[in-house]
A = this chain, B = another copy of it.
Amino acid sequence: MERSNERQAWINGEFVPESRCVVSFRDRSFKFGDGVFDMTRTFGHKLFKLDEHIDRLYRSLSYVRIDPGISPKEMKDITEELTERNLHLIGEGDDYWVGQRVSRGTFIPEADIHSSSGPTVIVECTPLPLKARAALYRDGIAVVVPATRRSPPDSFSPRAKSHNYLNLIMGDLEAKAADPEAWAVLLDQNGNVTEGMGSNFFSVRDGVVRTPRAQFVLPGVVRQTVIDLARENGIPMEECDIDLYDAYTADEAFLTSTSLCVCPVRSINGNRVGGADAPLPGPITQRLSDAFKDYVKFDFVAQYLGSLDG
């Protein structure tokens, strides 16, 4: 396997330098966001729960009726090889997001609007933005709940990880208008908390950890890992409807995501979580963060904090 100075991506059968991993402006995912993806990360250069991510990818594909033309096993092999080919390009202390993207294909002008070539399949990796996010582990995340509501399941299920992100982006733009460092967490049509752009929300009250039910959110692999770790560690844990009353009266709150793992929330709509003098992270968040480190055998918090400017 040759070593390249440029990161490589895999597209429709071949590994290419990223600069050659391009798609036509007629690709349905460019024109319509008509595609799905999944994404894991490495911890110390090892891929995290790749099987679970590939499984979720194929569920997303089933939901939108796209046949990627390759099997889950092949997808996994390509992902592992892609990772291998790119690891030498990051430092020891760095890690990658690694993911797959499948578009329904490229629109063929002479046919009707629904025709397309076969699917566009891409496997790619991206260095984690450790430095850009490091302060979140020191200061906590400022969550803002925007007026924009998460798309309802009968319009498009939030459980499919698709290339249609404008609903989440609109919410995030609102949050960032209120505070440029804020992360949006959207409500659903019933006023219950759902998720942010790629992140899941957890609250803690009187020792009980709660996270929204999986129907209205993308059920994150880290989210599930944290649920499992809570149960294994004897921390009461509920998947249930959570609303702004829960959020505002929580003792602690945190977000999970592939890249964040477990990251404390400092405030919700400007309200300091747990009151003015609450420790950050709170004690249960700390326990779950530590349990996650043990589980992945990797100190992701140290990795982030190590990227802070001196």
**9-residue interface stretch from A23-31, A227-235, A279-287, A288-296:** A23-31
Report A21 CB to chain B, min CB distance, Å.
Answer: 5
> Which of B129, B147, B169, B245 contacts A159, CB < 8 Å?
B245
Query: Using a CB-CB cutoff of 8 Å, which residues 149-199 of chain A contact chain B?
Result: 149-157, 159-160, 162-167, 169-170, 172-174, 176-179, 187, 189-192, 197-198
Q: Is the CB of B152 within 8 A of A149?
A: yes
Pair B127/A112 contact, Cβ less than 8 Å: no
Q: Which of A43-51, A60-68, A73-81, A298-306 contacts B (4 or more CB under 8 A)?
A: A60-68
Closest to A145 in B: B147
Residue of B62, B147, B169, B270 near A187 (CB, 8 A) is: B147
* CB-contacts of A178-227 with B (<8 A): 178-179, 187, 189-192, 197-198, 213, 215
Question: How far apart are A159's CB and chain B's nearest CB, in angstroms?
Answer: 5
**Nearest 7 pairs between A and B by C-beta?**
A33-B33, A177-B270, A154-B191, A178-B178, A32-B165, A112-B132, A157-B245
A contact set with B: CB distance below 8 Å:
7, 9, 11, 18-19, 21-27, 29-35, 37, 59, 62-65, 101, 103, 109-114, 122, 124, 126-127, 129, 132-133, 144-157, 159-160, 162-167, 169-170, 172-174, 176-179, 187, 189-192, 197-198, 213, 215, 241, 243-245, 248-249, 269-271, 275
